[in-house]
Structure 1
Amino acid sequence: MNQELCIIIHGFTGNPWEVDPLANALERIGYEVITPLLPGHSISNERMEKVTALEWIQMVEKIVIHAIEENKVVHMIGFSMGAMIAAIMAYRYQITTLVLLSPAVYVLSPYLLRMKLEKFLQQARKVRSMSGQTVHKSPLIIRSTPIYNIFQFHKIVRQAKRIFQHISLPICIIHGQKDETVDPRSSELIYSVSSSKDKELHYLPLSRHHICRDCEVDSVVQTVIKFIKKYH
């Protein structure tokens, strides 16, 4: 039997830390796992370097091509923007399964804007209630992302949206219903338009965007493992 490889792609401005719990679980049960750091990103969350969407795709593409040349069974797994890159790979190459975690289709929607406003108001109330304390004792760390990089992110999203209807391999989609970054309806769209006859859509009622680091991570791990074990 051919060796099985799971390629797990992290999200925009992120790093492999976002998917480490899933990667570690897959390694423990015998899968080979690769979690590349996309060009321009960093482990320490430093300011992004100026890179292109093409560079992100080409880096993952090299890994996929090498695995196929070695006759490995390839499971593509992607988180957020990484899910969109994973989908592009599944469209271009002979991939066995595709797993999309919090796929980033609808990033700025009325639903998300409302959630962000509610979160901001909650934080503002907390600050006001901190009697005698200054805001710097409870800082909100916001890392700005250059417009150039955001534009490259949207290029990935647009490219992936055009090919979902042409994807026919087994696909598993998982999304947190409390996602504050990507509208959960993104997953519903992909599920409805994909051509796959074997597809699953799972919603996590308590999870936000980083589902591999949230309270239902065990469900994520179990769902992914159960899904990819069906295909060799």
Structure 2
Amino acid sequence: MSIGCLCIHGYTGSPEEVRPLVEFLQTNTDWELASPTLPGHGEDLDLRGHYYQEWIATAELALLDLKKRNDTLLLVGFSMGGMIAAYLAAKYEIKRLVLLSAAGKYISLPQMFKDIVEMGVDAVRKELASNELFLRYQRKLKDTYFFSSFEFMKCVKFTRPSLHKVNCPVLIIQGDLDGMVPKATANFLKAEIPAAEKEVVFLPKSKHLICHGDDREELCDKVLTFLSEN
């Protein structure tokens, strides 16, 4: 039995957001992994002129491509990618679904800035310039096209009703320190999804970029165990 696993990154992000998990799954399974870059996203953001329908369509085409070669399909979605993954899980026959910091509620860009300030307070000043997380957030705020934030909100609004149609087993993972997607969102997702098998896991040391957090080894182990069941 061949297995295909699609991993979808978040708003203003890139496959780098889920790279640690993707690499872990590649090392520990023989699955076919796919992690597309949504239009306008990537390390060099160019969101002007791109719409949420393109983001969903790109993920859907990647899933259909995996379907050509694999009997079983798995889905992993981070942040906005989690909502897109839920939409696809409701539309197609998916074996298992993992939602990482899924944006069931809107992400707060001001909170992103607040996180940057906190990093500056916590970091030793001479090391701040080399702080990868700080630089990543700083670049996002600078390069994000303001009006694309409305497309993000439209994407969440469009995909949210799909939560009621997800019946495959679901693993929901949220960082306790996530300031952009409220911690309560994980329980909201669990309540909205009717699947008989669903689990919520909170990681105590993780913020929003959960695949890069201090709990990433635990996250990878939990995701692999869940996706490998049955």
User: Where on the TM-score scale, by shorter chain, does this alignment land: which range?
Assistant: 0.7 to 0.9
User: What's the CA shift for 1:120?
Assistant: 4.1
Do 2:111 and 2:179's aligned partners in 1 also have CA atoms closer than 8 Å?
no
Q: Return the alpha-carbon distance in structure 2 between the equivalents of residues 59 and 87 of structure 1.
A: 15
Match of residue 34 from structure 1: 34
> Is 1:198 equivalent to 2:197 in the alignment?
yes
Instruction: Flag the 1:113–1:184 CA change in 2: closer, same or farther, 3 A.
Output: farther
Q: TM-score with structure 2 length normalisation?
A: 0.85
Work out the CA distance in 1 between the residues paired with 2:104 and 2:176.
15
TM-score, scaled relative to structure 1: 0.84
Task: Give the aligned partner of residue 80 of structure 2.
Answer: 81
1:147–1:221 distance in 2 versus 1, CA, 3 Å: same
Q: Which has the higher helix share?
A: 2
Distance 1:156 1:137, change over 3 A: closer
Alignment correspondent of 1:145 = 144
Distance in 2, Cα, partners of 1:174 & 1:137: 28
For 1:183, the aligned partner's letter is: P
Structure 1 pair 216–49 and aligned structure 2 pair: CA distance change class (3 A): same
Match of 2:221, SS? helix
Higher Rg: 1
Residue 67 of structure 1 corresponds to which residue in structure 2?
A: 66
Q: State the identity as a percent.
A: 30
Number of aligned residue pairs: give it. 222
What value does the CA root-mean-square deviation take over the aligned residues? Answer: 2.9
Counterpart of 2:7 in 1: which secondary structure?
Answer: strand
Can you list the C-alpha shifts for 1:112-153, whole angstroms capped at 9, x where unaligned? 978965874785x689x98xx9x9999973424223211111
The whole-number CA distance in structure 2 between the counterparts of 1:210 and 1:114 is 13
Is 1:14–1:45's contact at 8 Å kept on the other side of the alignment?
A: no
Query: Deviations along 1:74-114, whole A, 9 cap, x unmatched?
Result: 101010011011011001111111100000122357xx978
What secondary structure, in the 3-state scheme, does the structure 1 residue paired with 2:11 have?
Answer: coil
Unaligned runs of 5+ in 2: none
